[in-house]
Structure 1
Amino acid sequence: MTSQLLRKQSGQGLHYLDKNEPLTPSRVSRTLVPLFHEDMGYPSPLASEGTLYPFYTPSDPLVVDEEVLVSPVHPLEWRRRTQQARMLLQHFHAPLPEHHESVPMARILELSIDPHGEWLRQVASLKPDTHVIGITSQQMYARQATFFAAVQRCHNMHVQVCPLSLPLPFPAESLNLIHGSFIYASLPEHLWPLLLEECFRLLRPGGVLHLLECGRGESTSAAAGALCAAYRHSLELRRNASRPSIPGARTVRAFQPEHLPTRLAKTGFIAVEQQESLLDFSAGTPFHGTLRDQADDFFQLVAPLCTHHTAPLSLEDYQRAYHEMQLELLETTFRGYWHLCIIRGYKPSGRLSRPIASMHRGQLSSHIRLQPCSLLTMQEEAQQHEQVPSEEADNRED
């Protein structure tokens, strides 16, 4: 079987196997299987438990440039996104960060809601005095989320149909918090700067942009690694075809979720912070069954992309690897992780509309920082000190 052959290979980088030929180092085939190793810069809790292979993540792109690869209203995609939203709420235990739950907020916006508005309804219930708004490009998502909000009696929740590729229909400096989960999967790469500029415009001074993406996934399933490699190789072929380059030159490098902290800083956000969270979906964990369904749905949805005439896998190879993956995910020794990444950036308050370069230099790290709260407090204190001399001068004149 495919996975049995894959496990016999060793080394680094891409490995090639031929399903019809004896397993020898000189043979080359169409199945690509990248392996994760500690010396490749991928630290992992699985390092001592065997070879690691790439695994599907919720940030895997489903839109290449302007081409939509998977319909948002496909039944499998509908279920996949709904399951993700519920799983994240269980994983983080609360929809908002701890230091924002007790902060008064007038308006909160969610970018690209899930089909049932799970996150929106949780926040609306948690903060009944806050106006919670969600936007989506899908009319069916808006109708479904609005229906569930009415059933739950979330009268402070509103959903509006608006693609992220257009200017967001809200007044400048009207929002306290903007939240988005796995937007990288559905937003074309060239639109990210425009979206971040819109978020900066809409936030009030001191407001926060809160984004959640998945840096990478990994597991002990070799067959899942083969499917992921075929999928990502097909994406690269489409990117190269849509972005022709000068002969001998490389095409435009694809934007990755890990670039978001730098992009936030360039947009004007200050005190950018990054926090990592490990979601464990190994055998025996609460999320194991959900992730099996997620992987099944995802690789069914992208099968046409991975099995066309220029793809690295034939339909027969793809189906074989898919069924092998299903069996490997059922093994009691299966281990799998999503490396989630939370990125936050704050809009400067006071007179400063854009930070100078030194203000956010050295603040882009993978550690939790409490600097934003203290920074805003310092800015408010500075404003108060500026007002005191002016008041004393007025008293003297009187």
Structure 2
Amino acid sequence: MSNIHPSENSYVMDPESAMEMARLLDLDIIVNKQMGALFPADIDLGRVHDVLDIACGPGGWAMEVAFEHPDKHVVGIDISRAMLEYATAQAKVQDLQNVEFRFMDATSKLQFPEASFDLINARFIVGFMWKEAWPELIKECMRILRPGGIVRFTDTDRGFSPTNSAALEKFNIFASKAFVRTGRSFCEEENANHFGLTPMLGALLAEAGCENIREIPHMLNYSAGEPAHFALAHNCEVGIALLAPFFKKTGVASQEEHEQLYQQMLREIRRDDFRGIWYFMSAYGEKPL
């Protein structure tokens, strides 16, 4: 798989940012709890021995798997040196000898031989994937999967929306515009307030030859007073702060516009009457035997 847009850093945030690392660690905890299990409930874990986590970030999911399943070998890949160093250090501190982390770009050919893994996992990679990179990545996943292996993508179409925060919804439109302008969105309408990704995941898996495809929706209520409110609202605040350079670069909002709207969002998201729902989805399928 040749590089897509090789002259650009494809991640919409700074992948070496300490703030982004902390945000991803928190998000892993939130998502793991919401999904209820590290693996799909309907697969035979006895057939899963080698696991790959694409865009592993600071290694939250990969280390959870390694800890709960010491019989499995887990590999995490990412393009952030800082996150890989953190993940490697944490695995050493926890004496997790069945997990390793490697530098690798998911928008390029994956440096693994054919039939290397029984399960491939990728979560929330929409932030660095161009539209045309998706089918290429899934083809690579199919190449390095063993027959009968599982490939699973968990992702979202939008930021932490819908909500009753006018400012947060405006930021979601900014993100939609920026994704369209940089070739990341499957929806070509800039004001659509979504990326059009989740309706495509099952079709993309099918086009790559996956069988027995399943789609599992997830919904997280982070309204004021709900258990997830503080954690997800804080995650949202950090993420939108880190998006300021991306919005400026794509021409959807100046630094001044971002800051003014950001302060409004902070007031609205922290009110007692704030209401917000976050939707995401898992789609997974099997490589034919």
> Into which bin does the TM-score normalised by the smaller protein fall?
0.7 to 0.9
Q: 1:319 aligns with which of 230, 249, 259?
A: 259
Task: Indicate the residue corresponding to 1:121 in structure 2.
Answer: 63
SS of structure 1 residue aligned to 2:106? coil
Shift of 1:104: 3.6
Give the partner amino acid of 1:73. E
Aligned partners of 2:16 and 2:81 also within 8 Å: no
Distance in 1, matches of 2:222 and 2:138, equals: 32
Task: Indicate the residue corresponding to 2:219 in structure 1.
Answer: 278
Give the partner amino acid of 1:301. L
Q: 2:144 aligns with which of 199, 202, 216?
A: 202
Aligned partners of 1:65 and 1:189 also within 8 Å: no
SS of structure 1 residue aligned to 2:162? strand
SS of structure 1 residue aligned to 2:51? strand
Give the partner amino acid of 1:88. V
Aligned partners of 1:189 and 1:255 also within 8 Å: no
Distance in 2, matches of 1:265 and 1:201, equals: 14
Instruction: Structure 2: give runs of 5+ residues left out of the alignment.
Output: 185-194
Report 1:296-315 matches (<5 A).
296-307=237-248, 311-315=251-255
Task: Indicate the residue corresponding to 1:269 in structure 2.
Answer: 210
Q: 2:17 aligns with which of 74, 78, 81?
A: 74
Shift of 1:233: 2.5
Aligned partners of 1:121 and 1:149 also within 8 Å: yes
Give the partner amino acid of 1:343. A
Task: Indicate the residue corresponding to 2:52 in structure 1.
Answer: 109
Distance in 2, matches of 1:109 and 1:325, equals: 37
Identity %: 27
Task: Indicate the residue corresponding to 1:83 in structure 2.
Answer: 26
Distance in 1, matches of 2:54 and 2:254, equals: 37
Report 1:133-172 matches (<5 A).
133-172=75-114
Aligned partners of 1:132 and 1:157 also within 8 Å: yes
Aligned partners of 2:126 and 2:156 also within 8 Å: no
Report 1:1-398 matches (<5 A).
66-68=8-10, 69-100=12-43, 102-115=45-58, 117-216=59-158, 217-239=161-183, 256-307=197-248, 311-349=251-289
Distance in 2, matches of 1:238 and 1:173, equals: 33
Distance in 1, matches of 2:254 and 2:45, equals: 54
Distance in 2, matches of 1:314 and 1:156, equals: 46
Shift of 1:73: 1.0
Shift of 1:221: 0.5
SS of structure 2 residue aligned to 1:189? coil
Give the partner amino acid of 1:328. E
Shift of 1:66: 3.5
Shift of 1:239: 4.7
Distance in 1, matches of 2:280 and 2:253, equals: 29
Q: Count residues with an aligned counterpart.
A: 272
Distance in 2, matches of 1:71 and 1:307, equals: 14
Distance in 1, matches of 2:14 and 2:178, equals: 18
Give the partner amino acid of 2:277. Y
TM-score (normalizing by structure 1): 0.63
Query: What per-residue deviation string (whole Å, max 9, x for no partner) do you get for residues 53-79 of structure 1?
Result: xxxxxxxxxx99945442111222222
Q: CA RMSD in A?
A: 2.4
Distance 1:271 1:329, change over 3 A: same
Distance in 1, matches of 2:178 and 2:157, equals: 19
Q: Once superposed, which parts of structure 1, at least 4 consecutive aligned residues long, lie more than 6 Å away?
A: none
Shift of 1:347: 0.6
Task: Indicate the residue corresponding to 1:244 in structure 2.
Answer: none
Aligned partners of 1:66 and 1:188 also within 8 Å: no
Distance in 2, matches of 1:312 and 1:180, equals: 28
Shift of 1:316: 4.0
Distance in 2, matches of 1:221 and 1:64, equals: 37
SS of structure 2 residue aligned to 1:183? coil
Instruction: Structure 1: give runs of 5+ residues left out of the alignment.
Output: 1-62, 241-253, 350-398
Structure (1 or 2) with the larger CA radius of gyration: 1
